[in-house]
Structure 1
Amino acid sequence: MANRASPGDDGPRNRPQSKQRVRTGCWPCRRRHRKCDERRPTCDNCLSKGSTCQYPATFIFASVQQAPVVETNDNSAASVPPQREFRVSVT
């Protein structure tokens, strides 16, 4: 029998570079399942359709100031990890 390489042994494959996904888009583009170029105040898709271009609120996670250091019984200081605060910013 001849030695055949298994299908996974072709060596490193050059994968096509994946397209970078848009993290946000305007509501009309999302509704139409179209890629939004995210231009402000009006994206190209809404401009060509004559639609009102509206963007969703952006979510910002900000660290809250660190809690004070708490003393433990063995005289070593233990700090409390910072908590996260959820803020909504409408842009």
Structure 2
Amino acid sequence: MAKIDFSSRVGVWWTSDAWPIRDVQPHAREIEQLGYGSLFYGEAAGKESLTQAAALLGATERLAVGTGIANVHARDALAAEAGSRTLS
């Protein structure tokens, strides 16, 4: 299991479903540069959760990224675990 070392005890919850991911990535970098340790978001109708995590992780260096809500109807438990292992 991957060890997560949060660089800060303070994180950000942000919903960016209406934004294209290419516009969200610079904001994730800014959140990281401001000293926040994590960025959390929910999965609603706009973006698939694990794909969004990959895009945010690829745009940052140390930011912990997580979904606060992953829709159980969008993927089964095995797919969610496999996605998590891929991202970590």
Specify if TM > 0.5.
no
TM-score range, shorter chain: under 0.3
* Higher helix proportion: 2
The two structures have a TM-score, normalised by structure 2, of 0.17
The higher radius of gyration belongs to 1
